[in-house]
């Protein structure tokens, strides 16, 4: 009788263990599938299309095909004074460079400067805000990625919950560059003040346009674009 009792207990125990393992695997797989789908929706990739998603805050680069994450790599991104360019870009130049660019270079079509994805001779910087705006990878990783993408591959760079504004409005000063500068340029153009190129560079033309707008609105003349200026220009943050 005791023998059968112990057998029943053992069967129940193994059944519970098997169920928990199986259940956790299903949960993990379901989460992984959802996570891949969520990432792919950010890029809206076709089933056979390959793209790169870079999450600045996470310090991760995702290689995605359709709704499947093929590879995930740790990265380093730009310092606060030289941020990695948020937006949707395209790889336009591939090369095998050494030195500070490590093993490989994949240049992006960012209009306000030379930015790309490359290797590094400072592997200790991976995981930090350490570059002049480029995306750094470990050399073994960038060599692998280099072989998996081509010129024309789309690259989406995100830096927070507010799209082109990353983690929120930053104060802009002459000389600053970025997608947020482009948005202010476009808004001043819509209002009839800015006549220059929408290039993401806060230069003299943009400053003159801003000052003209401030003068006509009876606002203090300043070249500093703060949250108050964004709001008066009716530029809003959207999740």
Q: Over 60: is that where the pLDDT of 7 sits? A: no
Whether pTM exceeds 0.85: no
Break the chain into its structural domains and give their ranges.
1-159, 165-232
CATH class given for the domain over 165-232: mainly alpha
Instruction: Identify whether 134 is a catalytic site residue.
Output: yes
Instruction: Identify whether 23 is a catalytic site residue.
Output: no
Q: Give the C-alpha separation, 17 to 25, whole Å.
A: 12
Q: Do domains 1-159 and 165-232 have the same CATH topology?
A: no
pLDDT averaged over every residue in the chain: 86
pLDDT confidence of residue 130: 94
Looking up tokens 């003159």, which residue turns up? 208
Tell me the pLDDT band of 8, cut-offs 50, 70 and 90.
very low
Q: Give the C-alpha separation, 239 to 234, whole Å.
A: 16
Higher model confidence: residue 44 or residue 70?
70
Q: Give the C-alpha separation, 127 to 130, whole Å.
A: 9
Q: What is the pLDDT of residues 10-51, one digit of tens each?
A: 444 444 444 444 444 433 434 344 455 566 666 788 889 999
Percent of the chain predicted with pLDDT > 70: 82
Q: What is the pLDDT of residues 150-197, one digit of tens each?
A: 999 999 999 888 888 988 999 999 999 999 999 999 999 999 999 999
pLDDT confidence of residue 207: 98
CATH superfamily ID and name for 1-159: L,D-transpeptidase catalytic domain-like (2.40.440.10)
Q: How far is the CA of 197 from the CAs of 24, 185, 189, 202, 204, in angstroms? A: 54, 8, 10, 11, 12
pLDDT confidence of residue 41: 60
């Amino acid at each position: 009788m005791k023998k059968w009792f112990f057998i029943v207990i053992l069967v129940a125990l193994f059944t519970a263990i098997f169920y928990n393992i199986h259940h956790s695997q299903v949960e993990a797989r379901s989460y992984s599938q959802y996570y891949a789908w969520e990432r792919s929706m950010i890029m809206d990739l076709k089933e056979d299309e390959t793209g790169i998603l870079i999450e600045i805050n996470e310090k991760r680069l995702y290689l995605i095909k359709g709704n499947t994450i093929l590879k995930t790599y740790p990265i380093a991104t730009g310092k606060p004074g030289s941020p990695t360019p948020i937006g949707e870009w395209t790889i336009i130049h591939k090369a095998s460079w050494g030195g500070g660019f490590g093993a490989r270079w994949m240049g992006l079509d960012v209009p306000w400067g030379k930015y790309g994805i490359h290797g590094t001779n400072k592997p200790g910087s991976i995981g930090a805000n350490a570059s002049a705006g480029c995306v750094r990878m470990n050399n073994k990783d960038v060599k692998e990625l280099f072989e998996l993408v081509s010129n024309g591959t789309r690259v989406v760079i995100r830096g927070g919950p507010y799209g082109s504004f990353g983690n929120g409005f930053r104060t802009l000063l002459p000389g600053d560059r970025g997608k947020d500068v482009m948005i202010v340029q476009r808004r001043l153009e819509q209002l009839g003040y800015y006549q220059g190129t929408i290039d993401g560079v806060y230069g003299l033309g943009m400053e003159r346009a801003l000052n003209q707008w401030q003068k006509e609105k009876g606002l203090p003349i300043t070249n500093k674009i703060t949250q108050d200026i964004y709001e008066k220009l009716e530029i809003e943050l959207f999740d």
